[in-house]
């Protein structure tokens, strides 16, 4: 419980510090939007590094060199834990907005930073609103900001992933951007497997080689979700002996 207590204290302090930072980021954004996104991401990443340190995370990052440096991409990842976002964001090499469920937009402290970071809020119960969010994601990639999606839609329980929702891939299909498969391993050992305590654990995140829609066959495009999920599954199996 000590790690949970220390994490809560740090988040409270970060909330207090964030109040003037919101104003600074807003002012930066009035003059240079991309600079605002970059500085906001640097601040949030620094905070996540502290959270991971307090939580006792030993992190192994594989394949960052696979991510194209000069273009926006669509990250597709499995989802096992609340810690997936801190682990991914603290290692991601591009300016990136995460797609999250709309309920998070109601949390002021969190949602303010997410909006600075170009994050998207998805209404999973309203198809029309969900489509609008995907269209925003398409425009975001065209503007040079990557998007990170967990197509299972929610955290999976057990070792097997939930089916990937095909709509998550429309951003890549419509823009032609690279899909980066992301395999996140053992984050549930930090919290979910011991809730409400936080336990130290070794986590592994691997960024796979880019997949460009134009290079895929018609069959692969027809079942794009299953194709990418299979690649992520292979990475998870490969990396499990490293734990």
pLDDT at 157: 67
pTM of the model: 0.94
pLDDT, tens only, 129-156: 888 999 999 999 999 999 999 998 776 6
pLDDT at 75: 98
CATH of 57-242, one of 3.50.30.60, 3.40.1130.10, 3.40.50.300, 1.10.357.10: 3.40.1130.10
Three-state DSSP string of the chain: CHHHHHHHHHHHHHHHHHHHHHHHHHHHHHHCHHHHHHHHHHHHHHHHHHHHHHCCEEEEEECHHHCCCCCCEEEEECCCCCCHHHHHHCCCCCCEEEEEEHHHHHCHHHHHHHHHCCCEEECCCCHHHHHHHHHHHHHHHHCCCEEEECCCCCCCCCCCCCCCCHHHHHHHHHHCCEEEEEEEECHHHCCHHHCCCCCCEEEEEEECCCECHHHCCHHHHHCHHHHHHHHHHHHHHHHHHHC
Distance CA 101, CA 130 (A): 10
Distance CA 153, CA 159 (A): 16
pLDDT over 80 (residue 88): yes
pLDDT at 158: 65
Picking from 94, 95, 92, 96, the residue whose alpha carbon sits closest to that of residue 63 is: 92
84 pLDDT band, cuts 50/70/90, is very high
127 pLDDT band, cuts 50/70/90, is confident
Name the residue with tokens 């498969």. 181
């Amino acid at each position: 419980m000590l790690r949970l207590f220390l994490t809560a204290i740090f988040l409270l302090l970060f909330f207090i510090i964030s109040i003037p930072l919101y104003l600074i980021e807003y002012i930066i954004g009035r003059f240079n939007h991309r600079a605002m996104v970059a500085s906001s991401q640097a601040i949030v990443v620094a905070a996540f590094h502290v959270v991971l340190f307090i939580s006792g995370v030993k992190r192994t990052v594989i394949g960052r060199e696979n991510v194209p440096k000069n273009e926006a991409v669509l990250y597709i990842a499995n989802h096992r834990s609340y810690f997936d976002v801190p682990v991914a964001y603290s290692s991601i090499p591009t300016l990136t907005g995460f797609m999250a469920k709309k309920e998070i937009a109601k949390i002021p402290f969190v949602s303010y930073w997410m909006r600075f970071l170009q994050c998207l809020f998805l209404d999973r119960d309203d198809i029309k609103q969900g489509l609008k969010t995907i269209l925003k994601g398409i425009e975001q990639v065209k503007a040079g900001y990557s998007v990170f999606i967990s197509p299972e839609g929610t955290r999976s329980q057990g070792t097997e992933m939930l089916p990937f929702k095909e709509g998550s891939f429309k951003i890549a299909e419509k823009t032609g951007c690279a899909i980066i498969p992301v395999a996140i391993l053992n984050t549930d050992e930090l919290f979910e497997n011991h809730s409400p305590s936080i336990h130290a654990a070794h986590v592994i995140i691997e960024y796979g080689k880019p997949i460009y829609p134009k290079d895929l066959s018609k069959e692969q495009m027809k079942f794009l979700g299953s194709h990418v999920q299979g690649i992520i599954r292979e990475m998870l199996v490969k990396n499990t002996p490293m734990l």
